[in-house]
Amino acid sequence: MMKEDVCKPLSLEGRVAVVTGAASGIGFGIAKKLAEAGAFVALLDINEEQGKKREEEIVKSGGRARFYRCDVTSNAQCQEVAEKIYREFGRVDYLVNCAGVIVRKNVVELSEKEWDLVLDVTLKGVYIASHNFIPYMIKTGGGSIVNIGSGWGLKGGPNAAAYCAAKGGVVNLTRAMAIDHGKDNIRVNCVSPGDIDTPMLRNEAKQLGIPWEEFLKEAADRPIGRIGTPEDVANAVLFLLSDMASWITGATLVVDGGGIA
């Protein structure tokens, strides 16, 4: 079998992919990977300046992308953007729910406002984006969704109470969505990363008052002795979105170098 025949099921040519939280970190890594696989990628984020730069990066490298400012905690904004994307391209094939925030505090230290922020962006945002894009995926004839969870959605972690709660919700929401929308020819899976070298991870170190090099050394203490990259996560997302995963739904794929093994 020729190499191109092996890779063909990973092709997303002619498809439209929506990625939330796409202006940086894991979200941008995923958006870039999906564009490389041939998809037109809609980049959704609240950071307009950074989002437009990411659009330019993808286009300059030969991909197809467009940035849309969208707050995933706003049903009205998600509804407007979903309508616009469907009107412009006539289809929505893939949705990657990646937007999220973390506050490194336990429940005693955590304010109600901080709890609401983490849950609204990280968990409610998955619901709102899915609520607005799934109807267009049904019109398209089906598709595939990947929700970005976390290793801490499967086990507890220190000083991250709201984040653990939100990501645990994402993991089980994924299962519920897979059950509900299989009849619509929509697969729904979850990718749960470990520590990934992103601005968000560096911000965690800052929140905890730990020097980055010290934080990095601790994070790399896992069977595969390094922290992950956005591309590590993006490769898993591409697989689950693609036709190579056509009989996989309701699953959680842990991408963490063996961190919770």
Active site residues: 163
The three-state secondary structure class of 145 is strand
Rounded to whole angstroms, how far apart are CA atoms 113 and 233?
30
Q: Are 107 and 122 in contact (CB under 8 A)?
A: no
Nearest one of 126, 145, 133, 112 to 249, comparing CA atoms: 145
Q: Are 238 and 10 in contact (CB under 8 A)?
A: yes
Torsion of CA 170, 40, 44, 167, to 10 degrees: 10
Rounded to whole angstroms, how far apart are CA atoms 88 and 140?
13
Ramachandran quadrant class, 119 (left: phi over 0; alpha: psi -120 to 50; beta: rest): alpha
Rounded to whole angstroms, how far apart are CA atoms 131 and 39?
22
